[in-house]
């Protein structure tokens, strides 16, 4: 079980790196969505087997994923809406970083107890 938690942590760090570097263009957002999808699926499995996390951690990840999806959809359908796409992307990136910070605090708290 610990290997899945470690994998979740590593994929989470990859998601943050992708969110901070790749999301500014459509192909990079697509890669980030794939990484976040894997991260969310790992998280769902961990919840299924009994791990508990604050609801805000889950919401940050899922809403960020949805915002990146929306940004991609708008960028493809309405190329003139660059400001909206940028706003959605920035919002999603902030949420990814927040989810990582919450997850990191949970690891720190668990290690301290």
Tell me the per-residue pLDDT of 74-86, one tens digit each, with 9 for 90 and over: 999 998 999 999 9
pLDDT of residue 113: 59
The mean pLDDT value for 90-98 works out to 98
Instruction: Give the model's confidence band at 106: pLDDT under 50 very low, under 70 low, under 90 confident, else very high.
Output: confident
Q: How far apart are CA 112 and CA 42, in angstroms?
A: 24
**Taking the domains of the chain in order of start, what are their residue ranges?**
2-112
Would you state the pLDDT for residue 111? 62
Residues 22 and 53: beta-carbon distance below 8 Å: no
* Interatomic CA distance for residues 99 and 20, integer angstroms: 13
Portion of the chain with pLDDT greater than 90, in percent: 88
Angle at 28 between CA 79 and CA 106, to 5 degrees: 125
Q: Provide the whole-model pTM.
A: 0.91
Task: Report the half-sphere exposure of 43 (CA within 13 A, side-chain side).
Answer: 23
């Amino acid at each position: 079980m610990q290997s899945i938690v470690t994998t979740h942590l590593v994929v989470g760090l990859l998601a943050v790196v992708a969110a901070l570097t790749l999301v500014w263009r459509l192909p990079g957002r697509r890669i980030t969505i794939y990484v976040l999808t894997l991260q969310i699926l790992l998280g769902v499995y961990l919840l299924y087997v009994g791990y508990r996390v604050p609801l805000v951690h889950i919401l940050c990840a899922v809403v960020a994923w949805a915002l990146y999806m929306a940004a991609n959809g708008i960028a493809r359908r309405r190329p003139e809406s660059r400001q909206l796409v940028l706003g959605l992307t920035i919002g999603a990136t902030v949420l990814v970083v927040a989810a990582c910070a919450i997850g990191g605090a949970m690891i720190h708290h668990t290690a301290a107890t």
